[in-house]
């Protein structure tokens, strides 16, 4: 591998980053010299144009709020990214910029690890890029799902206990409750939850969001986003390093 390979994370107001720590540890473990992982905090997505002219840039991860907006700046999309309509990993090779979605892989691994036979229908809380990847994976695994967001037909104001009882799988994809706003929690009828329920909150910082705590008080099985994050990062590493033609 050539020296001075640059990787990084594109997003807005990135106050903390799992990815930076994860990849810097990886460089150390694999004893890779000349790799760096930076935070590219962009106020607007069009600033990515400037980033693309960075010499030695091998690729980058993409986080909130640019997973969908980045697509207009890319040359090609993987099959999954095309179907999902969101990108969280970009590979730059010979000047060609290709978008991938590794959230799907990460979420699928998490889901299959914890899913039980009763988890046949799901509510997806939120409708951003991560929600799109979640919906794609649920479809692929034959689990019906409904989106709950501020503006959808089923929204946080009309979501009732019965609907929650009827959907034994709940995936929380919004950033509400992420560090430093750890006391924030979505409006949600927690009384509809039972020990039959599986709650997957994609947030990993803090480990236990208010949402997870409220859900586990009702006996629901709860999982945070850490494993998904690790798995999507591993997949990104594979894309950056093993796509050489």
Dump pLDDT digits (tens) for 122-142.
999 999 999 999 999 999 999
For residue 59, give its domain range: 5-101
How far is 18 from 234, CA to CA, in rounded Å?
12
Q: Is 67 an active-site residue?
A: yes
Residue 57 is predicted with a pLDDT of 95
Asked if residue 232 is part of any domain, the answer here is: no
Torsion sign across C-alpha atoms 168, 187, 109, 73: positive
Q: What does each C-alpha distance from 73 to 14, 48, 78 come to in angstroms?
A: 21, 8, 14
Pair 171, 125: CB distance under 8 Å? yes
Within a domain: 237: no
Q: Do the domain assignments include residue 97?
A: yes
Of the listed 67, 168, 210, 235, which one is catalytic? 67
pLDDT (tens digit per residue) in 132-168: 999 999 999 999 999 999 999 999 999 999 999 999 9
Q: Is residue 195 part of a domain?
A: yes
Could you give the number of structural domains in the chain?
Answer: 2
Q: In the prediction, which pLDDT does 29 show?
A: 96
User: Does residue 236 lie in a domain region?
Assistant: no
Whether 3 has a pLDDT exceeding 90, the answer reads: no
What mean pLDDT value characterizes the chain?
95
Do residue 91 and residue 108 come from a single domain?
Answer: no
Is the pLDDT assigned to residue 17 strictly greater than 90? no
Assign 245 a pLDDT band (cuts: 50, 70, 90). very low
Residue 192 in domain: yes
CATH classification of the domain holding 137: 3.40.50.720
CB 36 within 8 A of CB 2: no
Band the pLDDT of 5: cuts 50, 70, 90.
very high
Which of residues 47, 80, 101 is at a domain's end? 101
Output the pLDDT for position 243: 61
Look at residue 1 and tell me whether its pLDDT is greater than 50. no
DSSP state of 31: T
């Amino acid at each position: 591998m050539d020296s001075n390979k640059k990787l990084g994370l594109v997003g807005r107001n990135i106050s903390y980053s799992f990815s930076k720590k994860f990849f810097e540890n990886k460089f150390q473990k694999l004893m890779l010299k000349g790799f760096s992982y930076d935070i590219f905090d962009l106020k607007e997505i069009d600033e990515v144009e400037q980033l693309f002219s960075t010499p030695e840039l091998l690729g980058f991860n993409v986080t909130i709020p640019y997973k969908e907006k980045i697509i207009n700046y890319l040359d090609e999309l993987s099959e999954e990214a095309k179907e999902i309509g969101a990108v969280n990993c970009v590979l730059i090779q010979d000047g060609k910029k290709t978008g991938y979605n590794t959230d799907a892989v990460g979420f699928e691994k998490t889901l299959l690890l914890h899913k039980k036979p009763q988890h046949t229908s799901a509510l997806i809380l939120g409708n951003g890029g991560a929600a799109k990847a979640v919906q794609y994976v649920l479809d692929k695994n034959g689990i019906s799902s409904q989106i709950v967001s501020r503006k959808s037909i089923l929204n946080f104001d009309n979501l009732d206990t019965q609907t929650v009882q009827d959907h034994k799988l709940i995936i929380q994809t919004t950033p509400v409750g992420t560090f430093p706003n750890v006391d924030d929690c979505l409006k949600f009828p927690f009384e509809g939850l039972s020990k039959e329920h599986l709650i997957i909150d994609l947030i990993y910082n803090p480990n236990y969001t208010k949402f997870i705590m409220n859900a586990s008080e009702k006996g629901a099985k709860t999982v945070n986003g850490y494993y998904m994050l690790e798995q999507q990062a591993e997949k990104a590493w594979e894309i950056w390093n093993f796509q050489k033609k």
